[in-house]
Amino acid sequence: MVLLFCHFCGIRLTLEEGPKCYRFYCKTCPYVYNVNQRVINRKYPRLKEVDEILADSKIWDSVDKTQVKCPKCEFGEAYFMQMQTRSADEPMTNFYRCANKECGYRWKE
Ligand SMILES: [Zn+2]
Ligand SMILES: [Zn+2]
C-alpha cells in the first residue's frame, strides 16, 4: 500500500470515498489528494475547523504576505490566506496572521 503524506504538515493522509473518486485527505489542514488528480483546497472546512487549522503556525510558512495593519500591534504586514468555507454561496474568507514574530496575531474578515 502506498502511503501519502501531507505537503504542508507532513502527517499521513487518510483515505476516504470522495464525491467522484477515492481521495486522501489531511486531518489537520485542507489538503486533499484525489486518487486521479491532485486538488488543493477542494475540501471546504467549516469556519470553526478553519480556525483550528490556522492555529498551527506551520501552515503559514508557505503563504504570501500582504500590506495590512495588524489590529493588535499595528505592524504593517501580515501573512494572507483565502479559503472557501463549506457552503459554496458564502464568500471566500480572508485570514491574516501578523508578520511580526513577536505578535503572530490572527484575524479574519
Ligand atoms: Zn496537512
Ligand atoms: Zn501584530
CA 52–ligand 2 middle distance (angstroms): 19
Q: Which ligand is nearest to the CA of 96?
A: 2
CA 69–ligand 2 middle distance (angstroms): 8
CA 41–ligand 2 middle distance (angstroms): 27
Domain coordinates in residue numbering, the chain: 1-43, 45-109
The contacts found for 44-47 with CB under 8 angstroms, 24 or more apart, are 44/84, 44/85, 44/86, 44/87, 44/88, 45/83, 45/85, 45/86, 46/85, 46/86, 47/85, 47/93
What tens digit of pLDDT does each residue of 31-82 get? 887 766 444 455 556 666 677 767 777 777 777 889 999 999 999 999 988 7
Query: Residue 1: its pLDDT value, please?
Result: 40
Q: Which ligand is nearest to the CA of 73?
A: 2
What tens digit of pLDDT does each residue of 7-28 get? 788 888 887 777 766 778 888 8
Is the domain 45-109 a CATH 2.20.25.10 member?
yes
What tens digit of pLDDT does each residue of 74-97 get? 999 999 887 766 555 667 778 899
